[in-house]
Homo-oligomer: A and B are copies of this chain.
Amino acid sequence: MNAPDALAREKFTELLALTRAPFPASCKAYLPGQLHPDLRVPVRDITLTNGEQVSVYDTSGPYTDPDVVIDVRRGLPGVRSGWIAARGDTEPYAGRPPVALDDGQKSEDAERLAQLRAESAGLQRQPLRARSGHNVTQMHYARRGIVTPEMEYVAIRENGRRAWMQQYLQDAAREQRLRGNPLGASIPERITPEFVRDEVARGRAIIPANINHPEIEPMAIGRNFLVKINANIGNSAVTSGIEEEVEKLVWSIRWGADTVMDLSTGKNIHTTRDWIIRNSPVPIGTVPIYQALEKVGGVAEDLTWEIFRDTLIEQAEQGVDYFTIHAGVRLAYIPLTAGRRTGIVSRGGSIMAKWCLTHHRESFLYEHFEDICDIMKQYDVAFSLGDGLRPGCASDANDEAQFAELHTLGELTQIAWKHDVQTMIEGPGHVPMHMIQANMAEQLKHCHEAPFYTLGPLTIDIAPGYDHIASAIGAAMIGWMGTAMLCYVTPKEHLGLPDRDDVKQGIIAYKIAAHAADVAKGHPGARARDDALSQARFEFRWEDQFNLGLDPETAREFHDETLPKDASKVAHFCSMCGPKFCSMKITQEVRDFAAKGLQEKAVEFRSAGGELYVPRTPA
């Protein structure tokens, strides 16, 4: 290892240590299972200054648990290993022998590659696959009536701790006004393991969980569950090693990414993927055509089914949980994009379009779709059927090409389901607000309620530099309407590669969108956290207000810019109104008046000096 590498590595090791710090006033806890008592379902418990506790969904994995010793060179413990083994339907096997080409034709020189691969030595696992004649997908189990540990895990995780929410849930039960509008979703008051099983069996939810990725904390993507978000990460052009690439993952899940897509291209993609998967407690998705293209030196027309198939197996053995596959980009649809303003904007879509045009043949992904299913079900890799013909601007939204592909994705969904392969459907992209509903309606109609997974959509095109906001609007709306997972967009969209802060900005914007959708749908308990925060705000419990927010650090920083003194953390006013005008404070008076009767109180109030705003000594 040379000196700059060592320096960079040290930097990322330090960064990773920071990224592991627990959130303020927060403590990781684990909920046990009932059907499967060994389950340890993570939650984050936030202790408030008034002694109450609020418990929230936690995507950050063991990283924020100070009791867990983590060595990124050895990977996370295999939470699911025992469950998988207990099913007795898998077998270890030698696996596909690794070749240099797995890291791309333009990989580093042999020595450097060897060095990087050496770092992965502790991360190598013998792959599992389904025993002959078996199908190891969660959908397969679900359809045979089996409630897997993964399903019970998901049920517990979706409910969270309900005890602290009771006061808020009661309000909603009392007042019609406070109920959500699920727009056709069927969200039960309490998620049971059986409900999860049923949703997975009918294809309305997926639990991405490759048998070769036992490290994951299972989660569900489906219309009747909490709306999830995905963050994309990619390899660095010149990586300093494991710490750097893993830190990106840990950073993403810290802020709330429910799944992460590894969109690495170019050099060292196989090796980087080892690093990420072995250290990831969230499902990892990929777009295998990117790696396949690397293997043929970037020449789309040189792609073959054999190379693609080999790549699927390679990645399935590593443990990728879902594959984006653009099997709906059919030869006949490509001319439908000719009149578009921005043509084909999906990378995968354009690769396949080029292949189809050059050979004037139907897409090999479409033609080999059942062969792909055969691979998927041996590892339980889920389909994320890619929308290669998604619109790249508002004026291409909802056009013939887009919907033709969507209808094909619906057909393919039924084929996948014939094989009990879990499937979700990718969606746009760029869609003005008034055209969003049609996307959801078409998807529900033609894709048989398979989970929808959309990129935004961006509602306008004139906000480069702020596309996380332009798209959070569309994401919140489509999430409310039924989209199960929202793929984030960062401020750098259309302009460049996101840096660390961009990733965070994108994730927070999408947590906002997803939560807004959960609240609107009336997911039980979703609004309890809002209520707890508002209550803290009203009672001037500043620390609690920060700590209940999506980003406690930033909230505190912003507050402290104007009122940095510690004393103002308990001040009964904020810098916006100051002590004189505080409108929160007056409400206490209103309550007293209402309780005692207005007339009587007015007299009493006046005679007591009529002072509402007791001036504070400046801190």
Query: Could you tell me which A residues sit within 8 Å of B by CB distance?
Result: 168, 171, 177-178, 180-181, 265-266, 290, 293, 298-301, 331, 334-335, 337-338, 340-347, 349-351, 353-354, 357-360, 392-395, 397-399, 430, 432-435, 459-466, 468-470, 472-473, 476-477, 480, 491-492, 494-497, 499, 508-509, 511-513, 515-517, 519-522, 527, 529-531, 533-535, 537-538, 545-546, 548-551, 554-555, 557-559, 561-563, 574-578, 580-584, 586-591, 593-595, 598-599, 601-602, 605-606, 610, 612-613
Q: Which residues of B contact A266 (CB under 8 A)?
A: 578
A417 to chain B, nearest CB (A): 30
Jot down 19 A-B pairs with beta carbons below 8 A, ordered by A: A266-B578, A293-B581, A342-B587, A354-B612, A359-B602, A360-B602, A392-B534, A394-B519, A459-B520, A461-B533, A462-B549, A466-B550, A469-B512, A473-B477, A473-B516, A477-B477, A492-B561, A496-B558, A499-B561
Partner of A342, one of B477, B537, B546: B537
Cα A430 to Cα B473 in complex, Å, equals 16
Question: Shortest distance in angstroms between A461's beta carbon and chain B's nearest beta carbon?
Answer: 4
| Minimum distance in angstroms from A439 CB to a CB of chain B | 12
Query: Quick check: B497 and A575 within 8 Å, CB to CB?
Result: yes
Cβ-defined contact, A434 with B610, below 8 A: no
CA distance A574 to B464 in the complex (A): 13
Q: Which residue of B lies closest to A493 (CB)?
A: B576
Please, which residues of chain B bring their CB within 8 A of the CB of A477? 433, 473, 477
The binding surface of chain A is classed by DSSP as helix
A543 → B minimal CB distance (Å): 12
For A357, list chain B residues within 8 Å (CB).
589-590, 593, 598, 601-602, 605
Complex Cα distance A299/B611, Å? 8
Q: Of residues A397, A462, A535, A558, which shows the largest number of chain B Cβ atoms within 10 Å of its Cβ? A: A462
Inside 8 A of A345's CB, which chain B residues have their CB?
A: 583-584
Residues of B contacting A180 in the complex (Cβ-Cβ under 8 angstroms): 432, 434
> Quick check: B520 and A613 within 8 Å, CB to CB?
no
